[in-house]
Structure 1
């Protein structure tokens, strides 16, 4: 009997060793795969930085070097001193547009989502389906009417024309509505007992306890507003109203392309997005998960 027990213990030990070996091999394989994917993801950023800090000859040379022999930091000052490219102004315009669009969308979409989720009235579902229906309308269909309206108001080449038509997002309202459907009703009931009306309940109770979804939606809206190209291209007809993306497009349409300026301008335009994404990346997944859009 003792011999049988020992054999069984040895067999279990060998099985555990095999299982531990398989687990370690699986982890190593996952890590190797993630490292390979990360390197592939970083290749475009490497090319931007490498070419942005190189000379024209090093960029176009058939002899490739991992990094320039001497980093050309003067390319940055040359970019901002170039009179044909209003880089500083375009960065300021993009920042103003992105921040204003983000704040406006958060306020309007969150109020719409809260009303659809928490305020009972007869046609709430009909309004919700109408909002969802706008997501199915291609942007090209509403582009010309929006331009005609903005032009008739005299908002061409103004920040108002670039910001106001983009303030409401049906997708953001949908995300907020899904999130508020699962918001603890006990908190709102306690606020009512304390004498708060729905407006103060929203701002004092609901918003402070919904920061993850606000951060997630705000990050997505900010990135979309910063990367917007077609609407700013049509509305921002003067140089003073150009955004970063419109300014970058002028490099590719010029008769003579300064490659080093183009690459360093791309690096400068990407940096704000990287900062925003790195700061709020953990909120994006958490906010979308709590919103219930995957249910």
Structure 2
């Protein structure tokens, strides 16, 4: 009776391996196409014949990317890195503090505040875009990096995730902290915050990726080229007047590299953070 089970088990393993291989190929296909196109010239990109890989890779496309006087790609990458590096930790810490307050501090009106936080998730971004621009512009935030950063510091979805996480946080640990004389802020800073490392890492990584990929708000608020981010600089390679496909794909490879590294490093923490937030399926 056990003999037929061996071929059946082998067939399942083969099908599973085939499925994983197909899904891996589908996932890696955009990266392959991006790198292939970045190493081709304009004639090869627009040729009717398909080539799997350029016979003569044009690595000079990457050097030309940073030598182009019309597009300051280097400063734009620096702006994107600065914006993402500031937005990710600040927005995550603010969401953590707000989530802890909603979960642990028994004050009157806490439910109303929670309802308002949830309500902000139901408001489309297009409805708040113009008012946000008016407020930031009236404060002198146009053509400044802080004007790009400020609207992204409040993340209501992260607040809800942290609230759910802290609701499940062991109260016994906090009770021991109270016996040591810790107040609300001390309990948060010394016990709750260090205990939420997976959530901090996962939401910080997601915030970094979101800030790095942001396009519309930096485009509107950063009108001067000195405040352009990498995504805005990339858009200048494809306009109604000029089309620079090799530069566009080379820039895409350069700008996506930090995100790939970030995801590879933080993917385990992203899964752990979402699983511990109370929103797992």
* Residues 32-111 of structure 1: pairs in structure 2 closer than 5 A: 32-111=18-97
Name which of 124, 142, 148 aligns with 1:156: 142
SS in 2 for 1:103: helix
How many angstroms does 1:22 deviate by? 2.3
1:207 aligns with 2:193: yes
Q: Distance in 1 between matches of 2:4 and 2:255?
A: 51
1:135 counterpart residue number: 121
- Cα displacement (A) at 1:104: 1.2
What number of residue pairs does the alignment pair up?
Answer: 281
| C-alpha displacement of 1:254 | 4.8
Is 1:226 equivalent to 2:212 in the alignment?
yes
In 1: Cα distance, 2:236 partner to 2:279 partner: 39
1:290, CA displacement in angstroms?
A: 0.4
Partner of residue 3, structure 1: none
Task: Note the residue ranges of structure 2 that are not aligned, 5 or more in a row.
Answer: none
Q: Please give the alpha-carbon distance, in whole angstroms, between the structure 1 residues aligned to 2:3 and 2:99.
A: 54
CA distance in 1, matches of 2:31, 2:268: 22
Pick from 92, 100, 119 the counterpart of residue 114 of structure 1.
Answer: 100
Shift of 1:170: 0.3
Q: How big is the alpha-carbon RMSD for the aligned residues of Structure 1 and Structure 2?
A: 1.2
Q: Give the gaps of 5 or more residues in structure 1.
A: 1-13
Deviation at 1:23, TM superposition (A): 2.6
Give the structure-2-normalised TM-score. Answer: 0.97
1:176, distance to aligned residue in structure 2 (A): 0.3
Q: Which has the larger radius of gyration?
A: 1
Structure 2 counterpart of 1:260 = 246
Deviations along 1:237-287, whole A, 9 cap, x unmatched? 000111111111111215221111110000001000001000000111111
Question: Partner residue of 1:126?
Answer: 112
Q: Give the Å deviation of 1:156.
A: 0.2
Q: What is the CA-CA distance between 1:200 and the residue it aligns to?
A: 1.8
Listed one character per residue, the Cα deviations across residues 95-148 of structure 1 (whole Å, up to 9, x for unaligned) are: 111111111111111000000001111211111111001100000000000011
| Structure 1 stretches of 4+ moved >3 Å | none
Give the structure-1-normalised TM-score: 0.92
Q: Secondary structure at the match of 1:70?
A: coil
1-side partners of 2:4 and 2:119: how far apart?
55
> How far is 1:17 from its partner?
2.5
User: 1:226 and 1:256 mapped to 2: Cα distance?
Assistant: 25
